[in-house]
A and B are shown apart, each in its own frame.
Chain A
Amino acid sequence: MIDTNVIAPNSPPVIEDRAAPETPAQGERFFLLLAIFIGIFSGLAVVCFRITIDFLRIVLLGSSVTPTFPRILLAPALTGIVIALLVMFVFPRVRGSGVNQTKSALYVYDGYIPFRTAIGKFICSALAIGSGQSLGPEDPSLQIGASIASALGRKLELTRERLRLIAPVGAAAGLAAAFNSPISAILFVIEEVIGRWTAGFLGAVVLSAVSSVVVARYFLGSQPLFRIPEVQFIAPSELLAYAALGIVGAFASVLLAKAIQVLRPRMKALPRWTQLFQPALAGLIIGAIALAGRPEVMGAGYEFIDQAMHDQFPWKILAILAGLKILTTVLSFVSGTPGGMFAPTLFIGAMLGSAVGGVERHFFPHLTLSIGTYALVGMGVLFAGFLRVPMTSVFMVLEVSGNYSIIVPVILANTLSYLISRNLQPVPIFDLLSRQDGLGLPSMEEQREERVLRVEDAMRAVDVPVIDSQIPADEALEIAENHAAAEILVDDPPFGWSSLTVGALRDAVEQNSSEPTVASLLSEPHMPPIYPDHSLDFVLRHISQWSFLPVTHRANNRRIVGLITMNDVMKAFDK
């Protein structure tokens, strides 16, 4: 069943370019200034969002870190019904995490995200996380930031192109404020939302992310979401344990993704009235698990990540917590409860990492000193395996820990997790969700790994006469006629390469009594330099004026390694 209602606005807006003519530099400057404002607004919104979540948690579950009966059982269940009512009748587009909604704004709706979505996401996600649903505030913050940016962009009459880009700018700001990590937020948006970057866009994203983090830190303090213990990487032999962590993390990632893949469409296929009770049922199960002795699975769980990092759980409990968090996150997410998957991913990763560290310490006590290091690496592993953002996963761990000494285990474990997960679950989670929602959003992973066709894949051997521009035209004509060529390639140093048809050459020889050189017959401009590693897209942009282009050596522009024609390009694409 296709549910475009989750993401798509009811009536896609028609956005006109109403902006007054302005120079590109003026537009660029205003866009960068606007990015700062977007960062400030997103930062403030995320601060309010965090406060609301905390406040609702106190109201719904009580102020103690360990909620007591009956709140622990009833709060998530009853709040689940309220959330379902809001999602079904007031804010139908706030289901899910928010990442795909931001992507759809970029690729489908010209940057349009209704501001109502931001309000709905704010209220529903705060209720869900505050009542103990196993979801996190980061992805909703991302969407809130994107919605604010989109609203501002529309009000300020940005051009269509800029309006498209402004949602990711806001997304980066929202995520950076929620995560208190600007680099990870920027990388995530580039890696997962937009998939490419230009200098102008990167500048805007950086400015918005930094300004939002400054605002968030002003209000919430500069400390990270969890205290970072002393991280250590002792011996190369420890890499075996990190490799094991990468493998375990990959399987956990696949389990989480498969569970969502299987259960989400089934839950959505149930009669509509059941959607009213799905979040409540998920909440009830989570409450029951908490009541049975594991309240750690409720909410985002940052305080428990902190405890795991500081070696405060035995490894068996850590493994149980990781398993239970997978279960509760799947339940919360597939029930349609609005909320993010970043925090649960970090939670599962931290628990798995600490568990692996604990097992290693149990069997090889001389090898492991810091369980916190394993927890940190574990978080990166799940990020790489489940969210499939390998670069972000590495930088996230480094940025959060502020320690580059663990880069080797982080890269090893994350790469293993990413590769195994990609093999076992070929479709990344965000692409999976967009496909389930009937949207053909571009897959950033596919884009990253798509094979780029290059000139060397299409070029052919030089089959036209190559002539020096300083020789007389009649001599050049004779060479051309000897080769039975219709066109010649002319080497015209220092200006580059050009070509001349035999007809033009013959006309010049016949009409001129004096003996002209080939150089005097050449027209401007000369051919653009084409190298074997250029993409075929690059060739396509230049080849229309020429019947062929010479492919030259990068070290010596006068050395020809082949020729390329439009026909060659087309053949290469057809292969």
Chain B
Amino acid sequence: MKTPPKRKWASRVKAAKERIRALRRPIYVVSLSLLAAGFFAFTFSVNRLYAEKRSHLSAYWFQQGQAELEEGRPQNAIPDLRTALLYSHENSRYQLNLARALAAANRVPEARSYFLNLLEEEPGNGSVNLELARLSAKDNDPNQARRYFNGAIYGAWDTDPILKRQQVRQELISFLIANDLKTQAHGELMSYTAEMPSTPNAQLWVARTFTKLGDDRSALDFFVAASQTNRRDVTALLGAGWAAFRLGRYREAVEYFKGAESLHEDPSTLQMIELVTSVIELNPFDSSISAAERRHRLMLAMGIADQRLKTCADSHDVDLDTVSGDPLQLARSQWSYLNRQLRGTYNNSGLVQLLAPVASLITNIEQNGGCGAQTPNDQAMLRIYQGGGELQR
């Protein structure tokens, strides 16, 4: 029997519907994928536009904050930099500047927390370590400060890493000296000299720092090096003169002072030249002089000390010829004893044996502060005999 066309058509429609129904899940998935792609593209565009807006705003507010910070108004810079960060959460440069503003505004805990966060993200960041070192220094925490200073020295720097590391080490050395950690400072300074630039300024800084640390020998070397790098550097020559003077190398000292004086006339330099010259002329410890000269210099020294003693006795109204237990009278009796010894001694070995007691007596007399201003001769005496007692080569 033949199927009527109407029923045939209906069965075809039904079959097609069934086929579509069987495919509905894949169709759904394709449709959802297309819809998701469209929504994604829309969100992407919106997000990009907004990201541009945020970028613009963050740059604007950062500039505002930076300007405030540079003009020394950290309190005003803080909200601006916070706003910049609001639009650029992860910008470490903004965070760093905000932290610096907070530190400058003396909001140390807030600043520290920002720096610590930055450090957590980038433990080897030199700038962050340095800022934390400064905060720890402010907090009088030398151990932590040293840890961060070292982190900064061995950390990474965006620009001029060598120069930055040298500057950080300089700051560390200054911090250690300020905290009376001289041994550690000396060690750091020695490390610094290994990497320092050969510029007169750097050499001068090192020389001065060695001076502060009491290492006159190293200081002299660097003052000399600085003066050789720049032969017209008066400061280096003066520094070298003083270092040599403190080391007892008077002839060298007078040469440096004279060099400085020839470049820049200065009464105080002239005074130093006179003083050092006096020291050279009055120095009985010089091993190269004859016994007669040594005796002569010791006699001169005793004479200057006697003069100083008399001045002291007059100012304190003390009679030096009687003995009643006054320190000046005791000094006078010592002086008389040594003077007699000296007058009876002519050979070099005897004179060398007398150097120590004479040095002790003269230092005692010249150091007496209650005896008025010291004459250049007194200063020379003190310089020569203080701590003296042995022959100098």
Contacts and interface: CB of A to CB of B under 8 A. Distances in A.
B79 A55 contact: no
Given A48-B43, A227-B117, 12 more contacts: A41-B39, A47-B47, A48-B42, A64-B80, A219-B44, A221-B90, A223-B89, A230-B116, A230-B120, A303-B86, A307-B110, A311-B113
A58 B46 contact: no
A33 interface: yes
12 contacts: A26-B25, A37-B36, A40-B36, A47-B47, A64-B61, A65-B79, A65-B82, A66-B83, A219-B43, A221-B89, A307-B110, A310-B110
A58 B61 CA distance: 13
Nearest to B102: A312
Q: Which of B32, B35, B44, B46 has the most CB of A within 10 A?
A: B32
Interface in B1-59: 21-22, 24-25, 28-29, 32, 35-36, 39-40, 42-44, 46-47, 50, 53-54, 57
B159 to A, nearest CB: 27
B114 interface: yes
B303 interface: no
Interface in B63-110: 79-80, 82-83, 86-87, 89-90, 107, 109-110
Given A20-B24, A30-B25, A48-B46, A310 B61 contact: no
A150 to B, nearest CB: 15
A438 interface: no
B295 to A, nearest CB: 70
B113 A54 contact: no
Contacts of B54: 54
A51 B43 CA distance: 10
Contacts of A307: 110
Contacts of A65: 79, 82-83, 86
Contacts of A311: 109-110, 113
B110 A58 contact: no
B86 A66 contact: no
Contact of B113 (A20, A41, A152, A312): A312
Interface residues of A, number: 33
A221 B25 CA distance: 33
B29 A33 contact: yes
B90 A223 contact: yes
Given A58-B57, A64-B79, A65-B79, A47 B43 contact: yes
B270 to A, nearest CB: 59
Given A44-B39, A156-B28, A312-B110, A63 B83 contact: yes
Contacts of A30: 25, 28
Interface in B337-358: none
Contacts of B90: 221, 223
Interface of A: 20, 26, 30, 33-34, 37, 40-41, 44, 47-48, 51, 54-55, 58, 63-66, 152, 156, 219, 221, 223, 227, 229-230, 303, 307, 310-312, 372
Contacts of A51: 46-47, 50
A44 B42 CA distance: 9
Contacts of A310: 110, 113-114, 117
Given A37-B32, A51-B46, A64 B83 contact: yes
A361 B26 CA distance: 62
**B29, B87, B113, most chain A CB atoms within 10 A:** B113
A310 B107 CA distance: 12
A229 B115 CA distance: 11
Contacts of B109: 311-312
Contacts of A40: 36, 39-40
A219 B89 contact: no
B392 to A, nearest CB: 57
Nearest to B58: A63
Contacts of B42: 44, 48
Contacts of A227: 117
A219 B44 CA distance: 8
A44 B89 contact: no
A229 B46 contact: no
A186 B82 CA distance: 33
A156 B87 CA distance: 40
B43 A66 contact: no
A211 to B, nearest CB: 10
A152 B32 CA distance: 9
Contact of A55 (B32, B39, B50, B107): B50
Nearest to B79: A66
Contacts of A55: 50, 53
A66 B86 CA distance: 11
Contacts of A20: 21-22, 24
B36 A41 contact: yes
**Nearest 3 A/B pairs, CB to CB:** A310-B113, A312-B110, A65-B83
Nearest to A370: B113
A145 B110 CA distance: 38
A50 B277 CA distance: 84
Contacts of B25: 26, 30
Given A37-B32, A44-B40, A64-B83, A229 B47 contact: no
Contacts of A221: 89-90
B117 A63 contact: no
Contacts of B53: 55, 58
Contacts of B87: 63
